[in-house]
Structure 1
Amino acid sequence: MMPFKPLIILAVFLLLHPMPTQADLLPANGAETAANFAEISVLEDRVRVALEIDLDDVHGFLAKPAEGENLVSSLTERTGKAFEVHADGTALLPETYQLEVRPRKPRVTAFRPSYGLPSNDERSAQVVSVVLDYPFTDRPTEIEFKPPLTSDGIPTAAIGVIFDHLGVAVTDYRYLSRSEVFYPNWNDPWYSRFENPNLTRHHKSALMSFVSVEPREVRHEVIIRLRDLEGWVDLRLGETTDLDAAAMANIEQQAIDLFLSSNPLTIDGQPIVPSAAKVEQLSVGVNGLKVLENPLNTNRDTALLGIVLSYPRDKLPNEVSLKWDLFNEETETIPVQISDPAGAVPGQVTRDVPDISWKNYILNWSDPKTQPVRVAAVRSIPVPVWSLGLVIFAIFLGAFAWRNRSGQWQGWAVGALSICLAATALRTATVEMTFPTDTLANTEAAVEITEKIVSNLATARLETQGAQMSEVLSAFVTAEAVNDIGAEIRRGLSVTLPSGAAAQIESTEGLIVESVEPKTDGGSQLLARWNASVSGGHWGHLHRRTVAYRALLEVRQYEGAWFLTGLTILEARLNRQFTSEGGNS
């Protein structure tokens, strides 16, 4: 039963605001910020339309009253029903499932490179929320969605919209500004589509492949559906629809076994076997791809899997080739995106041409390497040079008076004493003298040393193999501390991004050394903080973030170079940073 109080509020509002409104402009993007929004689901036996109507636009969503119908008493019954749904040419009769006045539902707001961040929100804080069901008996082959329009075909209000069919997302955020025809695929909702090609989602293909060529690793990342996996492997699931965590763990292992022996990869002319593989459950929707953390239950029909195969390398390869050998009946063409440090290039494979390759055409490539930290540390001492010079002169006069003590030595002695008094008066006139030192006595040198060490740490973080990590650390870490610092780098500097990928440090800035403390063994302990720009992604989904670090670094000088003897990451705080890059960021 619908609550009585919100209906009274709605009726009073409609009576006090009789003038309809009309949209002047429907932007090409940013539909998630539209004043009115529709979430539309095509189910087995009905279409469900959940409307959020801005208080200024309520009149535009009122269905026309029947002849002789009381306008006031029928307001709530007519709310939202100007939105029409037709199945195979027949108008479906809507039923009000829910009606209330409530706060607007928050939605993730995208950063749009063309327009920047959205302007100030001028929408009503409260909305009229109405959920309508449009039941049907037979599964239609064509469904038409018709938003409220004027007699001239102009939308009465701007409406943002998202669609799904049987739980599978059909579109990202879009605007609904005219009648749109939808063709449901009842056997496989992934292939349901709109007649209008603009009403779609980013991930259009059921199978997608991504090859990432990085300085220390080549990765092959694949998105597949559980339905596709069942076409390649006998999973023996029977009639089960909902799968628990144990069943999914078994399925994921079978997926790994399949892909370890499929789609062979060749690097620099040599066939390569993956050294590691993992599977993540994913969801695809208006926010792009999202990793599902340990779901308790999984729908067999809509399950999406992301597979990551890792091929560690010592350096950036010269050539990579992939041969795809897993196809299904519905998919003859599979999109393949190959990315390297210079950017990403889209491509595809087909049954007739299943091979795709990459060559290293990067001209100005410098392989990242750690470097010895050579910073001259000096100690400044104030020297009263005038006083020192006068004292030396006084000593000379005193010695001369002593040698001539049989004559007029008293005058020379008085002169020497006077010069000593003058030296005492000039003792504050000093000159800074610098001397090499093994300890850090000034912040300027500490900052320079810390900057170089932090840069080396970022380079070491690229390594995916333990032996290579130890080797690159040896350039600036003492031999006895390599293992401990390697473990601390993996613990404290590792950042997992929303896509599930481990982030790489691109650059650092804002480094501040808060304190420099001497140690009893002759070294120094530095308390420092800095910001790092990190990036990473899987499946064509790139994330960029800023991480604020705070750490204790213990350093000591050996043979003209500074070495790290200890490292403790005290804080790693992840801040969101908008980005326009990536497949569906």
Structure 2
Amino acid sequence: MLLVVTLAASAAAHPISITKSLVYVTQDRVTVHIELFVEDLFLFHDLKPNDQDFFEPQVIERGIEKHEPFLLERFVMRDSHGEPLVGRTIRIDRSDLPTEGVAMAELMAYTLTFVMEYPLDRPPEFLTFSQHFADGRLLVPAEMQLNVQQEGAGTPYQEVLYPDAPQTVRFSWDHPPLAADASEEQLQAWYERQKEQMLGITSYSAVYSFFYIEDHQVRHEILIPLLTLDETVLIARADDSFLEISEQDLAAEQIEAFFRAGNPVEIDGVPVQPVIDRVDFYGLDFRDFAVRAPRARVSMASARVGIILSYPTQGTPSTVQVTWDRFHRYLRSVNMVVFAYEDTQRVALTRIGGQNVYRWQNPGRPPAPPLQQVDLVLPPRPMWSLSLVSLALALLIPPVVWYRPGARYRGPLLLLLIGAAIATWPLARWQLPRPFAGTPQLDDDRAAATLAALHRNIYRAFEYRDEEQIYDALAKSVDGPLLRELYLEIRRGLVMQEQGGAVSRIREVEIIEGEKLPPSRIPENLDPRSFVYHCRWTVAGTVEHWGHIHARTNEYRAKWTVQPRENAWKITDLELQDERRVSFETSLRRM
């Protein structure tokens, strides 16, 4: 049973209808009890008292007949698809009314109770409540104190419901809210479970703002109720209650223009224009906002819009400033969460007192080191080191041996020449390549270090956001046709299909094991200084949007061919032999 208690109070100049609601929902129906003062009949239906300021019974009955469809029409509950629930009045309790009628001065002394029932075809996961008791023709302010009670739950949901300001409530039938006397530990455990299930997005009427500061990009992600945007962005649609698929492209353009012209960002003191990465429309049953939402008709009362604006940076920024200026009469403040690298901070931005600016100062984080090519360094070729003096003396020995007339002096002269050649051996050295020595090759340790440096460069290239910058960085370590092939292969490995094709950021690359293949296994057509390295490695990447993180680790096994190219080592071929998923998990960013 759903009990809605309507209490009306009036002031002499400005009457007001104030509604206090208790909403109790079962798995197969919602029963609504609306209790209201007789004054509401006068406020909303312009009942006329007689000449003695007295409302006769037949006048009150006529007001009751008008108020029954009024409540069914203007107190609205919608399901997760935005469709209104259809109810019927099952009884009206008039027992508090005097039989002779009610005097004008006593309209607030008597109450009526309307009982309505709304059948459900399945247990609801979401219900969106709205009230439209006051419209443009009525000057009667109307507020409702909404209290939603779920069957089997101890703690109701409470909120003030203003005209045309819907509130959405989620119902968990497996783990309903705990009783009011539950321990703090039980309540905290229940709340954390709900938060994990909803990936941190727990309110359906709040504006969520997430501001990311990274080395090559600043990103502003905004999740905002569609009806909140409708206050300032003229969203054209045929049906006030729904935004059709055919209307969403134009709506996205309007929303893009609205945010492109507002919420300015400065990086290192320079205004930077945003790149609109996406504008998506989400229904109530959509939870993982890192995934692109499928195009579907959405309800204006409960849908949300996700906008991602990115601002390129030239490396590590020194200062970043954002100003939130997209307020309106209902949106007076925004709670923004700032993720500056590994630090997290909550910031309250408000239109009051100029407190709508957030400024970040680099606390001393150094810029990322520039990506450098791996220089061509080889072991020196085997050389002979000879003494020119010794060689000259040694060349005199054969003539002395062959000179016959001087046989008597031959022995001493030979000894003199040999001794002099030995004595002068350290003098006037001459380096001569050793004949028949092979081409210098990297040993196993140097080959492993060279491949590790090239491997690290390849993945660091994907820290850049611009495709041209990625290609330029890759070209420092990759050569030939492999450049484009490797770009596409690694980018494919970074795409998370389970996240709608989002490209993950690389967090860690680790070579687990590797070995340099023997020269006999190197193709003969390669430069003899080349080497082939077989290794196994893991890549950990993340996709992060709206405060939650999808982390994935993949493992690869491949053969890399490395060759000298203009005084640098470069990868010229890759043979990918194996690829497998190691882990995938989702978590929330923590303060």
Q: What are the Cα deviations for residues 197-221 of structure 1, in whole angstroms up to 9, with x where unaligned?
A: 9878643352121111111111111
Report the CA distance between 1:581 and its aligned residue: 4.2
* Match of residue 167, structure 2, among 170, 173, 190: 190
Q: Does 1:543 align with 2:547?
A: no
For 1:335-414, what aligned pairs fall within 5 Å after superposition? 335-352=335-352, 353-373=354-374
Identity of aligned residues (%): 22
The letter for the 2-side match of 1:490 is: R
Q: 1:253 is paired with a residue of what secondary structure? A: helix
Q: Which residue of 1 aligns with 2:323?
A: 323
Q: What are the Cα deviations for residues 247-281 of structure 1, in whole angstroms up to 9, with x where unaligned?
A: 22222222222211121111111111113432133
For 1:21-170, what aligned pairs fall within 5 Å after superposition? 47-49=25-27, 164-166=126-128
Paired with 2:307 and 2:371, the residues of 1 have a C-alpha distance of: 32
Report the CA distance between 1:233 and its aligned residue: 1.8
Tell me: CA distance 1:364–1:247, structure 2 relative to 1, closer, same or farther (3 Å): closer
Q: 1:469 is paired with a residue of what secondary structure? A: helix
Paired with 2:540 and 2:232, the residues of 1 have a C-alpha distance of: 41
Q: 1:317 is paired with a residue of what secondary structure? A: coil
The letter for the 2-side match of 1:518 is: I
Paired with 2:322 and 2:440, the residues of 1 have a C-alpha distance of: 54
Paired with 2:472 and 2:499, the residues of 1 have a C-alpha distance of: 31
Report the CA distance between 1:439 and its aligned residue: 6.0
Paired with 2:151 and 2:578, the residues of 1 have a C-alpha distance of: 43
Report the CA distance between 1:537 and its aligned residue: 0.9
* Match of residue 518, structure 1, among 518, 522, 526: 522
Q: What are the Cα deviations for residues 266-314 of structure 1, in whole angstroms up to 9, with x where unaligned?
A: 1111111113432133456695646354234333332222111111122
Report the CA distance between 1:334 and its aligned residue: 0.6
CA contact (8 A) 1:348 1:356 kept: no
CA contact (8 A) 1:47 1:134 kept: no
Structure 1 residues not aligned, in runs of 5+: 1-44, 51-80, 91-132, 144-160, 382-434
The letter for the 2-side match of 1:189 is: P
CA contact (8 A) 1:499 1:537 kept: no
Q: What are the Cα deviations for residues 68-96 of structure 1, in whole angstroms up to 9, with x where unaligned?
A: xxxxxxxxxxxxx9xx9885699xxxxxx
Q: Which residue of 1 aligns with 2:249?
A: 249
Moved more, 305-314 or 572-581: 572-581
Q: Which residue of 1 aligns with 2:303?
A: 303
Q: What are the Cα deviations for residues 108-151 of structure 1, in whole angstroms up to 9, with x where unaligned?
A: xxxxxxxxxxxxxxxxxxxxxxxxx998769999x9xxxxxxxx
Q: Which residue of 1 aligns with 2:402?
A: none
Structure 2 residues not aligned, in runs of 5+: 1-22, 37-85, 93-111, 116-122, 131-145, 171-176, 181-186, 383-436
Q: 1:215 is paired with a residue of what secondary structure? A: coil
CA contact (8 A) 2:507 2:541 kept: yes
CA contact (8 A) 1:447 1:511 kept: no
Q: Which residue of 2 aligns with 1:279?
A: 279
The letter for the 2-side match of 1:230 is: D
Q: What are the Cα deviations for residues 407-438 of structure 1, in whole angstroms up to 9, with x where unaligned?
A: xxxxxxxxxxxxxxxxxxxxxxxxxxxx9856
Paired with 2:284 and 2:507, the residues of 1 have a C-alpha distance of: 28
Paired with 1:370 and 1:463, the residues of 2 have a C-alpha distance of: 11
Q: What are the Cα deviations for residues 145-204 of structure 1, in whole angstroms up to 9, with x where unaligned?
A: xxxxxxxxxxxxxxxx99632399x9xxx9976353545848443366999898786433
Q: 2:256 is paired with a residue of what secondary structure? A: helix
Paired with 1:446 and 1:328, the residues of 2 have a C-alpha distance of: 63
Q: Which residue of 1 aligns with 2:562?
A: 555
Tell me: CA distance 1:440–1:258, structure 2 relative to 1, closer, same or farther (3 Å): same
Paired with 1:335 and 1:138, the residues of 2 have a C-alpha distance of: 45
Q: CA RMSD in A?
A: 4.8
Paired with 1:138 and 1:471, the residues of 2 have a C-alpha distance of: 76
Paired with 1:538 and 1:472, the residues of 2 have a C-alpha distance of: 26
Q: What are the Cα deviations for residues 44-70 of structure 1, in whole angstroms up to 9, with x where unaligned?
A: x983427xxxxxxxxxxxxxxxxxxxx
Q: Does 1:231 align with 2:231?
A: yes
Moved more, 522-531 or 330-339: 522-531
Q: 1:222 is paired with a residue of what secondary structure? A: strand
Q: How many residues align?
A: 392
CA contact (8 A) 1:374 1:560 kept: yes
Tell me: CA distance 1:227–1:273, structure 2 relative to 1, closer, same or farther (3 Å): same
Paired with 2:151 and 2:506, the residues of 1 have a C-alpha distance of: 38
Q: 1:49 is paired with a residue of what secondary structure? A: coil
Q: Which residue of 2 aligns with 1:582?
A: 589
Paired with 1:337 and 1:212, the residues of 2 have a C-alpha distance of: 9
Q: 1:233 is paired with a residue of what secondary structure? A: coil
Give the TM-score normalised by structure 2.
0.55
Paired with 1:514 and 1:162, the residues of 2 have a C-alpha distance of: 59
Q: 2:258 is paired with a residue of what secondary structure? A: helix
Q: 1:231 is paired with a residue of what secondary structure? A: coil
Tell me: CA distance 1:295–1:569, structure 2 relative to 1, closer, same or farther (3 Å): farther
Moved more, 547-556 or 348-357: 547-556
Report the CA distance between 1:571 and its aligned residue: 6.1
Tell me: CA distance 1:570–1:242, structure 2 relative to 1, closer, same or farther (3 Å): farther
Report the CA distance between 1:237 and its aligned residue: 0.8
The letter for the 2-side match of 1:47 is: V
Report the CA distance between 1:534 and its aligned residue: 1.1
Tell me: CA distance 1:525–1:229, structure 2 relative to 1, closer, same or farther (3 Å): farther
CA contact (8 A) 1:543 1:582 kept: no
The letter for the 2-side match of 1:178 is: G
Point out the structure with max Rg over C-alpha. 2
Paired with 1:89 and 1:533, the residues of 2 have a C-alpha distance of: 59
CA contact (8 A) 2:220 2:308 kept: yes
The letter for the 2-side match of 1:342 is: E
Tell me: CA distance 1:278–1:244, structure 2 relative to 1, closer, same or farther (3 Å): same
CA contact (8 A) 1:499 1:543 kept: no
Give the TM-score normalised by structure 1.
0.55
Q: Which residue of 1 aligns with 2:478?
A: 477
Paired with 2:552 and 2:151, the residues of 1 have a C-alpha distance of: 30
CA contact (8 A) 1:370 1:473 kept: no
Paired with 1:134 and 1:231, the residues of 2 have a C-alpha distance of: 29
